[in-house]
Amino acid sequence: MELTKEDMVKLFTTMLTIRRFEEKVSELFLGGKIPGFIHLGIGQEAVAAGCCFPLKKEDYIANTHRGHGQCIAKGADIKILMAEIFGKATGYCKGKGGSMHLASLDLGILGANGIVAGGIPIAVGAAFSAKYRKSDQVVACFFGDGATGEGAFYESLNLASILKLPIIFVCENNHWAEFSPQSTHMDIEKVAQKALAFGNIKGETIDGNDVITVHNAMVKAIERARRGEGPTLLECNTTRYRGHYEGDPQKYRPKDDLESAKSNDAIERFKTFLLEKNIVTSKNIEDIEGEIKPKIDEAVKFAEESPLPLPEETLKDVYS
C-alpha cells in the first residue's frame, strides 16, 4: 500500500493529535485533575501512527501502559478516551480502566496492560482465534524493550511461531525499562535478534522515528501475516521524552541522552519532509494545529463534566 499525499497528511494529523493530547494529559495530571498513574509516549508517536494506519478496523491491537497513542491511532474518540483517563462513567471502560487499562473491543483494542508483557499472550490468543476462524484479521501487539525480558514474551513468541499466527510483535524500543537502560537488561544490541530463536518469526529493526519507514515495514509485516507466513518482530527504535511515569524527574538519565533524542523528533522530521516535498504548506500545518486544539479542549470539557461511575456499578463488568 503506497501512501498518498492525503494519507501522509492523515498520518501527520494523527501524530500531532497524540502529542497534543498527551501534553494536555500531562498538564491535567500534574494539576491534580487525573487520578492514578500516567505513562506518556511523547516522542514515540511515529510508531503508534505508522503501525496502526495500515490496520483494518476489525484487526486487533494489544497496547501497553504507555498506550494512549496506540488507542488514538486505532481510531479512539479522544473525548471518550479522555473521559476514561479521568475515571468517568462515559469512558471506554466506564471509568474503571483508566490510563493503564484502556480497552475497546468495538475498535479491536484488546487492552492496555499494567503487567509488563501481560498483553503479549492475550494478543497471541487473539491471533490464534483469527487463524482458527479464518477471519483474515491480524494482531499488532505493542510492548517495550523491557517486556522482552519477561517469560511471557518467549512463551508467546514460541507458540506464535509454531502456529504461524497472523501477528506483528511491535517493540517500541525507547531504550529504557522504567529506570534501567537497555544495556543493563539485554546482552544483545537489537531486540529483533531475538526472533532468530523461534524459526518462523522474521525480525527487523527500523528507525521508529521515521513514520513512513514504520508504515512501510508494517505493511510488509501485515501482508506476510495475512498470507499465513507467520509473525514479524518489528523493533522500532524511538525515544520517550517524559519520565517513566508522569512526575518522574529522570535523575537517572544523562542529559545529553534526552537532548540528542529531541533533535531527532519524529513530528519535526515528518513536518520538514512534508514541507520539502511540497505536500503541505506552513499554512496547512497551522490549520492542522488549529483544528486539533479545540477538539482537545472539547475532550477535556466532556471528561470534566461527565459523571463518576456509581458506587453500585463497582463490580459490574468486572470479571476477574
Ligand X SMILES: Cc1ncc(C[n+]2csc(CCOP(=O)(O)OP(=O)(O)O)c2C)c(N)n1
146 binds ligand X (CB under 6 A): yes
For ligand X, which stretch binds (CB under 6 A), given 144-152, 157-165, 215-223, 294-302?
144-152
125 binds ligand X (CB under 6 A): no
114 binds ligand X (CB under 6 A): yes
176 binds ligand X (CB under 6 A): yes
Please report how close the Cβ of residue 27 comes to ligand X at its closest, in angstroms: 21
Residue with Cβ nearer ligand X (137 or 209):
209
Please report how close the Cβ of residue 242 comes to ligand X at its closest, in angstroms: 11
For ligand X, which stretch binds (CB under 6 A), given 143-151, 200-208, 265-273, 297-305?
143-151
Exposed (0-12), middle (13-18) or buried (19+): which is 262, by Cβ within 10 Å?
A: exposed
Position of cell 513468541?
A: 157
265 binds ligand X (CB under 6 A): no
Contact 253, 37 (CB under 8 A): no
Choose, by CB under 6 A, the member of 91, 97, 144, 309 that binds ligand X. Answer: 144
For ligand X, which stretch binds (CB under 6 A), given 60-68, 78-86, 213-221, 299-307?
60-68
Choose, by CB under 6 A, the member of 23, 77, 155, 178 that binds ligand X. Answer: 178
48 binds ligand X (CB under 6 A): no
SS3 236: strand
Residue with Cβ nearer ligand X (66 or 224):
66
The backbone region for 57, taken as left when phi is positive above 0, alpha when psi lies in -120 to 50, beta otherwise, is alpha
Q: Which three cell numbers stand for residue 211?
A: 513514520
Q: Which residues contact 101 (CB under 8 A, 6 or more apart)?
A: 93, 111, 112, 113, 114
Q: Strand 139-144 and strand 167-173: pairing? A: parallel
Choose, by CB under 6 A, the member of 145, 210, 235, 246 that binds ligand X. Answer: 145
Backbone angles phi, psi at 263, to 5 degrees: -75, -5
* End-to-end C-alpha distance for the chain, whole angstroms: 41
Q: Which residues on neighbouring strands pair with residue 237, listed in sequence order?
A: 173, 207
Q: Which three cell numbers stand for residue 134?
A: 479464518
Which residues bind to ligand X, rule: CB under 6 A?
A: 64-66, 114-116, 143-147, 174, 176-178, 244
